[in-house]
Amino acid sequence: MIVADLLAADTLQLRLHTPSSADRLGWDISWCAPAETIDPTPFLSDNVLLLTNGIGLNIEDQRTWTAYVERLVRVRVAAIAFGTGTAHRLIPPGLVRAASALDVPLLEIPRSVPFLQVHRHVTNVLQVERYTAINRSWELAQECAQLAASGSHLQVILDAAAQTVEGDLAIVDAAGAVIARSPAAATWSESDLADVPVEAGHGSIPLPMGTGDSFQLIVRNAVSDHPASTLLAPAASIIAVQLQTALHTTTHKERELEVLLDQVPDWAGVALEEFTASFRATGLDVHGPTLVLAATTGRRNLANAWRIRLLLQARFGDVRVQLRSGILYAFAQGPLDGVGPDRAAEQFLTACVRDLPDQALVVKGPCHTIDELRLGIHQAGTMVGTVRKPQRAPDLGIRALIASTASSGARVAAHKLLAPVIAYDEVHSIDLVRTLEAFLGNDAQPGRTAASLFIHRNTLAQRLAKLEGLLHLSLTSLEGQATCLMALQILRSQASPAL
Protein backbone atom coordinates (compact mmCIF):
# COMPACT_ATOMS: atom_id res chain seq x y z
CA MET A 1 0.00 0.00 0.00
CA ILE A 2 1.30 3.45 -0.91
CA VAL A 3 0.21 6.98 -0.03
CA ALA A 4 -1.43 7.46 -3.42
CA ASP A 5 -3.73 4.50 -2.69
CA LEU A 6 -5.32 6.47 0.16
CA LEU A 7 -6.14 9.36 -2.15
CA ALA A 8 -7.65 6.91 -4.63
CA ALA A 9 -9.98 5.40 -1.99
CA ASP A 10 -13.31 7.15 -2.65
CA THR A 11 -14.83 6.07 0.68
CA LEU A 12 -12.18 8.00 2.64
CA GLN A 13 -12.64 11.35 0.80
CA LEU A 14 -9.06 12.43 1.61
CA ARG A 15 -7.61 15.61 0.10
CA LEU A 16 -3.94 16.38 -0.49
CA HIS A 17 -2.77 19.80 0.81
CA THR A 18 0.91 19.62 -0.29
CA PRO A 19 2.55 19.68 -3.75
CA SER A 20 3.95 16.17 -3.26
CA SER A 21 5.67 14.46 -6.19
CA ALA A 22 4.67 11.09 -7.65
CA ASP A 23 7.77 9.55 -6.07
CA ARG A 24 6.80 10.83 -2.63
CA LEU A 25 3.23 9.65 -3.02
CA GLY A 26 4.68 6.26 -3.99
CA TRP A 27 6.10 5.63 -0.51
CA ASP A 28 4.96 2.43 1.15
CA ILE A 29 2.73 2.59 4.22
CA SER A 30 3.71 0.00 6.81
CA TRP A 31 0.98 0.78 9.37
CA CYS A 32 -0.96 3.72 10.82
CA ALA A 33 -0.59 5.33 14.25
CA PRO A 34 -2.93 7.81 15.95
CA ALA A 35 -0.93 10.40 17.92
CA GLU A 36 -1.89 13.77 19.44
CA THR A 37 1.38 14.76 21.16
CA ILE A 38 3.85 17.40 20.05
CA ASP A 39 6.52 14.71 19.73
CA PRO A 40 5.08 11.31 18.75
CA THR A 41 8.36 10.02 17.27
CA PRO A 42 9.20 7.59 20.14
CA PHE A 43 6.11 5.61 19.10
CA LEU A 44 6.66 5.70 15.33
CA SER A 45 8.74 3.75 12.81
CA ASP A 46 9.59 3.88 9.13
CA ASN A 47 6.77 4.43 6.62
CA VAL A 48 4.02 4.92 9.20
CA LEU A 49 0.88 6.92 8.40
CA LEU A 50 0.42 9.42 11.23
CA LEU A 51 -3.24 10.07 12.19
CA THR A 52 -3.92 13.19 14.23
CA ASN A 53 -6.73 15.63 15.05
CA GLY A 54 -4.19 18.20 16.26
CA ILE A 55 -5.76 18.27 19.72
CA GLY A 56 -2.42 18.94 21.37
CA LEU A 57 -1.16 21.11 18.53
CA ASN A 58 -2.43 24.61 19.31
CA ILE A 59 0.60 26.19 17.65
CA GLU A 60 0.94 29.66 16.20
CA ASP A 61 4.73 29.91 15.74
CA GLN A 62 5.87 28.70 12.31
CA ARG A 63 9.17 27.50 13.76
CA THR A 64 7.32 25.12 16.07
CA TRP A 65 5.38 23.62 13.13
CA THR A 66 8.64 23.23 11.22
CA ALA A 67 10.28 21.49 14.18
CA TYR A 68 7.26 19.20 14.52
CA VAL A 69 7.46 18.08 10.88
CA GLU A 70 11.26 17.79 11.01
CA ARG A 71 10.90 15.23 13.80
CA LEU A 72 8.51 13.24 11.64
CA VAL A 73 10.92 13.38 8.71
CA ARG A 74 13.68 11.89 10.87
CA VAL A 75 11.60 8.77 11.50
CA ARG A 76 10.60 8.62 7.81
CA VAL A 77 6.86 9.08 8.26
CA ALA A 78 5.08 8.17 5.03
CA ALA A 79 2.39 10.88 5.36
CA ILE A 80 0.32 12.92 7.83
CA ALA A 81 -3.45 12.40 7.86
CA PHE A 82 -4.96 15.39 9.69
CA GLY A 83 -8.58 15.28 10.82
CA THR A 84 -10.50 18.55 10.66
CA GLY A 85 -13.62 19.52 12.60
CA THR A 86 -12.66 18.33 16.07
CA ALA A 87 -9.89 20.63 17.29
CA HIS A 88 -9.27 22.54 14.07
CA ARG A 89 -11.92 23.67 11.59
CA LEU A 90 -9.22 23.83 8.89
CA ILE A 91 -5.72 22.41 8.60
CA PRO A 92 -3.37 24.96 10.24
CA PRO A 93 -1.53 26.96 7.53
CA GLY A 94 1.74 26.60 9.47
CA LEU A 95 1.52 22.83 9.18
CA VAL A 96 0.79 23.07 5.46
CA ARG A 97 3.85 25.29 4.93
CA ALA A 98 6.14 23.04 6.97
CA ALA A 99 4.93 19.83 5.31
CA SER A 100 5.30 21.41 1.85
CA ALA A 101 8.81 22.64 2.58
CA LEU A 102 9.95 19.28 3.97
CA ASP A 103 8.16 17.19 1.31
CA VAL A 104 5.84 15.26 3.63
CA PRO A 105 2.39 14.52 2.11
CA LEU A 106 -0.34 16.16 4.21
CA LEU A 107 -3.80 14.61 3.81
CA GLU A 108 -7.03 16.06 5.20
CA ILE A 109 -9.56 13.69 6.77
CA PRO A 110 -12.94 15.45 6.56
CA ARG A 111 -15.20 15.59 9.62
CA SER A 112 -17.64 13.23 7.94
CA VAL A 113 -15.05 10.41 7.89
CA PRO A 114 -14.28 8.81 11.30
CA PHE A 115 -10.66 8.16 12.20
CA LEU A 116 -11.57 4.53 12.81
CA GLN A 117 -12.65 4.18 9.18
CA VAL A 118 -9.22 5.33 7.94
CA HIS A 119 -7.45 3.11 10.45
CA ARG A 120 -9.58 0.09 9.52
CA HIS A 121 -9.12 0.68 5.78
CA VAL A 122 -5.31 0.82 6.09
CA THR A 123 -5.22 -2.23 8.36
CA ASN A 124 -7.42 -4.32 6.04
CA VAL A 125 -5.43 -3.42 2.93
CA LEU A 126 -2.12 -4.19 4.65
CA GLN A 127 -3.41 -7.55 5.88
CA VAL A 128 -4.54 -8.51 2.39
CA GLU A 129 -1.18 -7.43 0.94
CA ARG A 130 0.77 -9.38 3.55
CA TYR A 131 -1.35 -12.47 2.99
CA THR A 132 -0.81 -12.20 -0.76
CA ALA A 133 2.94 -11.62 -0.26
CA ILE A 134 3.26 -14.65 2.04
CA ASN A 135 1.43 -16.83 -0.47
CA ARG A 136 3.67 -15.58 -3.28
CA SER A 137 6.77 -16.15 -1.14
CA TRP A 138 5.85 -19.79 -0.61
CA GLU A 139 5.04 -20.19 -4.28
CA LEU A 140 8.53 -18.89 -5.03
CA ALA A 141 10.04 -21.25 -2.44
CA GLN A 142 8.21 -24.18 -4.04
CA GLU A 143 9.40 -23.11 -7.49
CA CYS A 144 13.00 -22.85 -6.24
CA ALA A 145 12.74 -26.25 -4.53
CA GLN A 146 11.49 -27.83 -7.75
CA LEU A 147 14.34 -26.23 -9.70
CA ALA A 148 16.86 -27.53 -7.16
CA ALA A 149 15.33 -31.02 -7.22
CA SER A 150 15.55 -31.07 -11.01
CA GLY A 151 19.28 -30.35 -10.84
CA SER A 152 19.19 -26.67 -11.77
CA HIS A 153 22.26 -24.73 -10.73
CA LEU A 154 22.24 -21.71 -8.44
CA GLN A 155 22.07 -19.13 -11.24
CA VAL A 156 18.72 -20.48 -12.46
CA ILE A 157 17.26 -20.33 -8.93
CA LEU A 158 18.63 -16.83 -8.39
CA ASP A 159 17.09 -15.72 -11.70
CA ALA A 160 13.69 -17.04 -10.60
CA ALA A 161 13.91 -15.09 -7.34
CA ALA A 162 14.98 -11.91 -9.13
CA GLN A 163 12.04 -12.23 -11.52
CA THR A 164 9.63 -12.50 -8.59
CA VAL A 165 10.88 -9.34 -6.83
CA GLU A 166 11.36 -7.63 -10.21
CA GLY A 167 14.79 -6.35 -9.22
CA ASP A 168 18.50 -7.18 -8.99
CA LEU A 169 19.83 -9.79 -6.56
CA ALA A 170 23.35 -10.48 -5.32
CA ILE A 171 24.82 -13.03 -2.92
CA VAL A 172 27.51 -11.34 -0.83
CA ASP A 173 30.00 -13.04 1.47
CA ALA A 174 31.16 -11.85 4.90
CA ALA A 175 33.89 -9.73 3.33
CA GLY A 176 31.39 -7.87 1.13
CA ALA A 177 32.35 -9.58 -2.14
CA VAL A 178 29.67 -10.51 -4.67
CA ILE A 179 29.92 -14.21 -5.50
CA ALA A 180 26.72 -14.54 -7.55
CA ARG A 181 24.16 -12.16 -9.02
CA SER A 182 21.06 -11.90 -11.14
CA PRO A 183 20.91 -10.69 -13.82
CA ALA A 184 24.32 -12.20 -14.52
CA ALA A 185 25.37 -9.08 -16.46
CA ALA A 186 24.49 -6.68 -13.62
CA THR A 187 27.29 -4.74 -11.97
CA TRP A 188 27.59 -4.13 -8.23
CA SER A 189 30.01 -1.48 -7.02
CA GLU A 190 31.38 -1.11 -3.49
CA SER A 191 29.05 1.83 -2.94
CA ASP A 192 26.08 -0.40 -3.85
CA LEU A 193 27.04 -2.78 -1.06
CA ALA A 194 28.49 -0.44 1.57
CA ASP A 195 25.11 0.36 3.11
CA VAL A 196 21.92 -1.28 1.97
CA PRO A 197 19.26 1.48 1.97
CA VAL A 198 16.06 0.88 3.86
CA GLU A 199 13.79 2.52 1.29
CA ALA A 200 11.35 0.53 -0.83
CA GLY A 201 12.89 -1.93 -3.25
CA HIS A 202 16.01 -2.63 -1.20
CA GLY A 203 16.87 -5.10 1.51
CA SER A 204 19.29 -7.63 2.92
CA ILE A 205 18.27 -11.19 3.82
CA PRO A 206 20.72 -13.46 5.68
CA LEU A 207 21.16 -16.91 4.18
CA PRO A 208 20.81 -19.68 6.82
CA MET A 209 23.94 -21.64 5.93
CA GLY A 210 24.22 -23.60 9.19
CA THR A 211 28.02 -23.45 8.86
CA GLY A 212 30.75 -20.97 9.61
CA ASP A 213 30.11 -19.23 6.30
CA SER A 214 28.14 -15.98 6.33
CA PHE A 215 26.24 -14.82 3.25
CA GLN A 216 23.62 -12.16 2.58
CA LEU A 217 21.08 -11.95 -0.23
CA ILE A 218 21.00 -8.30 -1.30
CA VAL A 219 18.03 -6.81 -3.17
CA ARG A 220 18.31 -3.70 -5.35
CA ASN A 221 15.75 -1.74 -7.39
CA ALA A 222 12.86 -4.11 -6.69
CA VAL A 223 9.55 -2.86 -8.09
CA SER A 224 7.26 -5.61 -6.79
CA ASP A 225 4.17 -4.54 -4.87
CA HIS A 226 5.28 -6.72 -1.96
CA PRO A 227 8.30 -6.27 0.37
CA ALA A 228 11.35 -8.05 -1.00
CA SER A 229 12.29 -9.43 2.41
CA THR A 230 8.85 -11.10 2.74
CA LEU A 231 8.97 -12.56 -0.77
CA LEU A 232 12.49 -13.94 -0.43
CA ALA A 233 12.60 -15.20 3.16
CA PRO A 234 11.44 -18.80 2.44
CA ALA A 235 13.43 -19.00 -0.81
CA ALA A 236 16.56 -17.90 1.06
CA SER A 237 16.75 -21.35 2.63
CA ILE A 238 16.73 -23.00 -0.81
CA ILE A 239 19.44 -20.65 -2.02
CA ALA A 240 21.52 -21.44 1.08
CA VAL A 241 21.18 -25.17 0.41
CA GLN A 242 22.33 -24.65 -3.18
CA LEU A 243 25.39 -22.76 -1.94
CA GLN A 244 26.23 -25.61 0.41
CA THR A 245 25.68 -28.07 -2.43
CA ALA A 246 28.08 -26.10 -4.61
CA LEU A 247 30.72 -26.51 -1.92
CA HIS A 248 30.11 -30.17 -1.11
CA THR A 249 29.72 -31.48 -4.65
CA THR A 250 32.92 -29.83 -5.83
CA THR A 251 35.12 -30.68 -2.84
CA HIS A 252 34.24 -34.34 -2.23
CA LYS A 253 36.84 -36.98 -3.10
CA GLU A 254 39.46 -34.70 -1.53
CA ARG A 255 41.84 -37.52 -0.63
CA GLU A 256 41.63 -39.00 -4.14
CA LEU A 257 42.29 -35.59 -5.70
CA GLU A 258 45.25 -35.09 -3.38
CA VAL A 259 46.76 -38.39 -4.53
CA LEU A 260 46.15 -37.47 -8.17
CA LEU A 261 47.91 -34.11 -7.84
CA ASP A 262 50.80 -35.80 -6.03
CA GLN A 263 51.29 -38.10 -9.01
CA VAL A 264 51.14 -35.47 -11.76
CA PRO A 265 54.81 -34.33 -11.67
CA ASP A 266 56.28 -37.71 -10.71
CA TRP A 267 56.87 -38.73 -14.30
CA ALA A 268 59.54 -41.28 -13.49
CA GLY A 269 57.83 -42.91 -10.50
CA VAL A 270 54.17 -43.01 -11.60
CA ALA A 271 53.28 -44.78 -14.82
CA LEU A 272 50.34 -43.67 -16.95
CA GLU A 273 48.32 -46.76 -15.92
CA GLU A 274 48.66 -45.87 -12.23
CA PHE A 275 47.75 -42.25 -12.92
CA THR A 276 44.69 -43.43 -14.85
CA ALA A 277 43.55 -45.51 -11.88
CA SER A 278 43.97 -42.52 -9.57
CA PHE A 279 41.93 -40.34 -11.89
CA ARG A 280 39.17 -42.96 -12.02
CA ALA A 281 39.10 -42.97 -8.19
CA THR A 282 38.01 -39.32 -8.19
CA GLY A 283 34.69 -40.37 -9.74
CA LEU A 284 35.39 -38.66 -13.07
CA ASP A 285 35.12 -40.41 -16.42
CA VAL A 286 38.53 -41.49 -17.71
CA HIS A 287 37.28 -41.30 -21.29
CA GLY A 288 35.31 -38.05 -20.95
CA PRO A 289 36.63 -34.68 -22.16
CA THR A 290 37.92 -32.83 -19.07
CA LEU A 291 38.38 -29.11 -18.54
CA VAL A 292 41.34 -28.34 -16.26
CA LEU A 293 41.66 -25.11 -14.31
CA ALA A 294 44.30 -23.64 -12.03
CA ALA A 295 43.79 -20.37 -10.12
CA THR A 296 45.78 -18.62 -7.43
CA THR A 297 44.06 -18.13 -4.08
CA GLY A 298 44.73 -15.91 -1.09
CA ARG A 299 43.05 -13.65 1.44
CA ARG A 300 42.45 -10.99 -1.21
CA ASN A 301 40.50 -13.25 -3.54
CA LEU A 302 38.86 -15.89 -1.33
CA ALA A 303 35.48 -15.00 -2.80
CA ASN A 304 36.79 -15.89 -6.26
CA ALA A 305 36.98 -19.54 -5.24
CA TRP A 306 33.20 -19.47 -4.76
CA ARG A 307 32.72 -17.64 -8.03
CA ILE A 308 34.82 -20.20 -9.89
CA ARG A 309 32.79 -23.07 -8.40
CA LEU A 310 29.51 -21.46 -9.35
CA LEU A 311 30.66 -20.57 -12.86
CA LEU A 312 31.80 -24.16 -13.39
CA GLN A 313 28.57 -25.64 -12.02
CA ALA A 314 26.55 -23.38 -14.30
CA ARG A 315 28.15 -25.06 -17.33
CA PHE A 316 29.26 -28.56 -16.27
CA GLY A 317 27.43 -31.39 -14.56
CA ASP A 318 30.41 -32.95 -12.77
CA VAL A 319 32.95 -30.71 -11.04
CA ARG A 320 35.84 -31.41 -8.66
CA VAL A 321 37.83 -28.73 -6.85
CA GLN A 322 40.96 -29.09 -4.73
CA LEU A 323 43.09 -26.44 -3.01
CA ARG A 324 46.80 -27.16 -2.99
CA SER A 325 49.76 -24.95 -2.07
CA GLY A 326 47.85 -21.73 -2.71
CA ILE A 327 46.45 -22.92 -6.06
CA LEU A 328 42.86 -23.97 -6.70
CA TYR A 329 42.70 -26.88 -9.14
CA ALA A 330 39.39 -27.74 -10.79
CA PHE A 331 38.25 -30.51 -13.11
CA ALA A 332 34.96 -30.32 -15.00
CA GLN A 333 33.13 -32.80 -17.20
CA GLY A 334 29.66 -33.18 -18.69
CA PRO A 335 28.71 -29.85 -20.34
CA LEU A 336 25.12 -28.77 -19.64
CA ASP A 337 22.34 -27.53 -21.91
CA GLY A 338 23.46 -29.67 -24.85
CA VAL A 339 26.62 -27.62 -25.40
CA GLY A 340 29.75 -29.37 -26.63
CA PRO A 341 32.86 -29.52 -24.39
CA ASP A 342 34.83 -27.02 -26.47
CA ARG A 343 31.96 -24.53 -26.52
CA ALA A 344 31.37 -24.96 -22.77
CA ALA A 345 35.06 -24.31 -22.10
CA GLU A 346 34.92 -21.17 -24.22
CA GLN A 347 31.79 -19.94 -22.43
CA PHE A 348 33.40 -20.56 -19.06
CA LEU A 349 36.55 -18.64 -19.97
CA THR A 350 34.43 -15.76 -21.31
CA ALA A 351 32.52 -15.66 -18.00
CA CYS A 352 35.80 -15.64 -16.06
CA VAL A 353 37.13 -12.72 -18.12
CA ARG A 354 33.88 -10.84 -17.44
CA ASP A 355 33.45 -11.64 -13.74
CA LEU A 356 37.06 -12.20 -12.60
CA PRO A 357 39.15 -9.85 -14.76
CA ASP A 358 42.01 -9.59 -12.24
CA GLN A 359 42.15 -13.24 -11.21
CA ALA A 360 45.24 -15.24 -12.13
CA LEU A 361 43.57 -18.22 -13.77
CA VAL A 362 44.55 -20.71 -16.47
CA VAL A 363 42.11 -22.90 -18.39
CA LYS A 364 43.38 -25.96 -20.21
CA GLY A 365 41.41 -28.18 -22.49
CA PRO A 366 39.08 -29.86 -22.74
CA CYS A 367 41.60 -32.71 -22.57
CA HIS A 368 40.47 -35.83 -24.44
CA THR A 369 43.06 -38.40 -23.28
CA ILE A 370 44.56 -39.22 -19.90
CA ASP A 371 48.12 -38.36 -20.92
CA GLU A 372 46.93 -35.03 -22.37
CA LEU A 373 45.12 -34.42 -19.07
CA ARG A 374 48.25 -35.08 -17.02
CA LEU A 375 50.27 -32.68 -19.14
CA GLY A 376 47.44 -30.15 -18.92
CA ILE A 377 47.35 -30.24 -15.11
CA HIS A 378 51.11 -29.70 -14.95
CA GLN A 379 50.99 -26.95 -17.55
CA ALA A 380 48.13 -25.06 -15.87
CA GLY A 381 49.72 -25.36 -12.42
CA THR A 382 53.09 -23.98 -13.55
CA MET A 383 51.64 -21.34 -15.87
CA VAL A 384 49.23 -19.81 -13.34
CA GLY A 385 52.11 -18.25 -11.41
CA THR A 386 53.06 -16.15 -14.46
CA VAL A 387 49.65 -14.72 -15.45
CA ARG A 388 47.58 -11.88 -14.03
CA LYS A 389 44.20 -12.52 -15.61
CA PRO A 390 42.10 -15.43 -16.90
CA GLN A 391 43.54 -16.99 -20.03
CA ARG A 392 43.71 -20.25 -21.93
CA ALA A 393 46.84 -22.38 -21.88
CA PRO A 394 48.38 -23.08 -25.30
CA ASP A 395 47.92 -26.51 -26.81
CA LEU A 396 51.55 -27.40 -26.13
CA GLY A 397 53.53 -26.30 -23.09
CA ILE A 398 57.27 -26.76 -23.39
CA ARG A 399 57.91 -26.88 -19.64
CA ALA A 400 55.38 -29.65 -19.04
CA LEU A 401 56.64 -31.52 -22.08
CA ILE A 402 60.26 -31.35 -20.90
CA ALA A 403 59.37 -32.49 -17.39
CA SER A 404 57.33 -35.42 -18.67
CA THR A 405 59.82 -36.75 -21.23
CA ALA A 406 63.13 -36.29 -19.43
CA SER A 407 64.92 -39.61 -19.00
CA SER A 408 67.29 -40.47 -16.16
CA GLY A 409 70.20 -39.69 -18.48
CA ALA A 410 68.74 -36.27 -19.29
CA ARG A 411 68.35 -35.54 -15.57
CA VAL A 412 71.98 -36.42 -14.91
CA ALA A 413 73.11 -34.28 -17.85
CA ALA A 414 71.03 -31.34 -16.67
CA HIS A 415 72.54 -31.54 -13.21
CA LYS A 416 76.06 -31.67 -14.65
CA LEU A 417 75.41 -28.66 -16.88
CA LEU A 418 74.15 -26.48 -14.04
CA ALA A 419 76.43 -27.85 -11.29
CA PRO A 420 79.19 -25.22 -11.87
CA VAL A 421 76.63 -22.40 -11.63
CA ILE A 422 75.11 -23.82 -8.44
CA ALA A 423 78.55 -24.27 -6.91
CA TYR A 424 79.53 -20.70 -7.82
CA ASP A 425 76.37 -19.36 -6.16
CA GLU A 426 77.10 -21.25 -2.96
CA VAL A 427 80.49 -19.56 -2.67
CA HIS A 428 79.73 -16.06 -3.98
CA SER A 429 76.02 -15.59 -3.13
CA ILE A 430 75.33 -13.85 -6.43
CA ASP A 431 72.44 -16.15 -7.40
CA LEU A 432 73.38 -16.73 -11.02
CA VAL A 433 70.70 -19.43 -11.27
CA ARG A 434 68.02 -16.83 -10.57
CA THR A 435 69.67 -14.51 -13.11
CA LEU A 436 69.55 -17.25 -15.74
CA GLU A 437 65.87 -18.00 -14.97
CA ALA A 438 64.97 -14.32 -15.20
CA PHE A 439 66.85 -13.92 -18.48
CA LEU A 440 65.04 -16.84 -20.08
CA GLY A 441 61.71 -15.88 -18.48
CA ASN A 442 61.97 -12.43 -20.06
CA ASP A 443 62.60 -13.85 -23.54
CA ALA A 444 66.33 -13.07 -23.36
CA GLN A 445 65.60 -9.33 -23.35
CA PRO A 446 68.37 -7.57 -21.32
CA GLY A 447 66.31 -4.48 -20.50
CA ARG A 448 63.34 -6.41 -19.11
CA THR A 449 65.61 -8.84 -17.28
CA ALA A 450 67.61 -6.09 -15.58
CA ALA A 451 64.40 -4.34 -14.53
CA SER A 452 62.93 -7.54 -13.07
CA LEU A 453 66.13 -8.15 -11.07
CA PHE A 454 66.49 -4.47 -10.07
CA ILE A 455 70.07 -4.33 -11.36
CA HIS A 456 71.91 -2.22 -13.95
CA ARG A 457 72.21 -3.55 -17.47
CA ASN A 458 76.01 -3.53 -17.14
CA THR A 459 75.72 -5.72 -14.05
CA LEU A 460 73.47 -8.08 -15.99
CA ALA A 461 75.97 -8.22 -18.86
CA GLN A 462 78.74 -9.20 -16.42
CA ARG A 463 76.57 -11.95 -14.92
CA LEU A 464 75.62 -13.32 -18.34
CA ALA A 465 79.27 -13.42 -19.36
CA LYS A 466 80.09 -15.33 -16.18
CA LEU A 467 77.24 -17.75 -16.89
CA GLU A 468 78.49 -18.40 -20.42
CA GLY A 469 81.93 -19.20 -19.02
CA LEU A 470 80.58 -21.63 -16.44
CA LEU A 471 78.12 -23.30 -18.83
CA HIS A 472 80.47 -23.36 -21.84
CA LEU A 473 77.72 -22.23 -24.23
CA SER A 474 76.38 -19.02 -25.72
CA LEU A 475 73.31 -17.39 -24.21
CA THR A 476 72.80 -15.28 -27.32
CA SER A 477 72.00 -18.31 -29.48
CA LEU A 478 68.60 -20.01 -29.57
CA GLU A 479 70.25 -23.40 -29.03
CA GLY A 480 72.04 -22.19 -25.89
CA GLN A 481 68.89 -20.62 -24.48
CA ALA A 482 66.80 -23.74 -25.21
CA THR A 483 69.44 -25.98 -23.61
CA CYS A 484 69.45 -23.91 -20.41
CA LEU A 485 65.65 -23.74 -20.36
CA MET A 486 65.38 -27.53 -20.56
CA ALA A 487 68.07 -28.06 -17.94
CA LEU A 488 66.41 -25.65 -15.49
CA GLN A 489 63.00 -27.25 -16.01
CA ILE A 490 64.38 -30.75 -15.45
CA LEU A 491 66.20 -29.56 -12.35
CA ARG A 492 63.08 -27.86 -10.95
CA SER A 493 60.91 -30.96 -11.59
CA GLN A 494 63.41 -33.04 -9.60
CA ALA A 495 63.51 -30.55 -6.73
CA SER A 496 59.70 -30.27 -6.52
CA PRO A 497 58.13 -33.73 -6.62
CA ALA A 498 54.64 -32.30 -5.93
CA LEU A 499 52.68 -29.56 -7.62
Q: What is the pLDDT of residues 338-381, one digit of tens each?
A: 889 999 999 999 999 988 888 999 999 899 999 889 888 988 98
Q: What's the confidence (pLDDT) of residue 66?
A: 94
Say if 341 falls within a structural domain.
yes
Last residue of a domain, one of 346, 371, 398: 398
Q: What's the confidence (pLDDT) of residue 401?
A: 65
What single-letter DSSP state applies at residue 108? E
For residues 363 and 293, membership in a common domain is answered with: yes
Overall domain count for the chain: 4
Say if 119 falls within a structural domain.
no
Exposure class string for 64-94: b at 16+ Cβ within 10 A, else e: ebbebbeebeebbbbbbbbbbeebbeebbeb
Please tell me the distance from the alpha carbon of residue 317 to that of residue 488, in angstroms, as a whole number. 39
Please tell me the distance from the alpha carbon of residue 33 to that of residue 306, in angstroms, as a whole number. 46
Q: In which domain, by residue range, is 82 found?
A: 3-113
Please tell me the distance from the alpha carbon of residue 197 to that of residue 99, in angstroms, as a whole number. 24
Q: What's the confidence (pLDDT) of residue 198?
A: 45
Residues in the chain with pLDDT values less than 70: 175, 194-202, 210-213, 225, 246-251, 298-302, 396-410, 493-499
What single-letter DSSP state applies at residue 402? H
For residues 266 and 394, membership in a common domain is answered with: yes
CA 252 to chain centre: 22
For residues 105 and 170, membership in a common domain is answered with: no
Q: What's the confidence (pLDDT) of residue 184?
A: 81
Domain of 422, CATH number, reads 1.10.10.2840
For residues 179 and 203, membership in a common domain is answered with: yes
Say if 386 falls within a structural domain.
yes
For residues 332 and 275, membership in a common domain is answered with: yes
For residues 71 and 168, membership in a common domain is answered with: no
This prediction has a pTM of 0.57
Q: What's the confidence (pLDDT) of residue 288?
A: 93
Last residue of a domain, one of 398, 419, 434: 398
Which residues are CB-neighbours of 454 under 8 A, at least 6 positions away?
Answer: none
Say if 8 falls within a structural domain.
yes
Say if 152 falls within a structural domain.
yes
Say if 411 falls within a structural domain.
yes
Q: What's the confidence (pLDDT) of residue 489?
A: 79
Say if 118 falls within a structural domain.
no
Q: What's the confidence (pLDDT) of residue 331?
A: 94
Q: What's the confidence (pLDDT) of residue 144?
A: 85
For residues 373 and 273, membership in a common domain is answered with: yes
For residues 264 and 392, membership in a common domain is answered with: yes
Say if 261 falls within a structural domain.
yes
Count of residues making up the chain: 499
Last residue of a domain, one of 113, 146, 171: 113
For residues 300 and 333, membership in a common domain is answered with: yes
Please tell me the distance from the alpha carbon of residue 492 to that of residue 454, in angstroms, as a whole number. 24
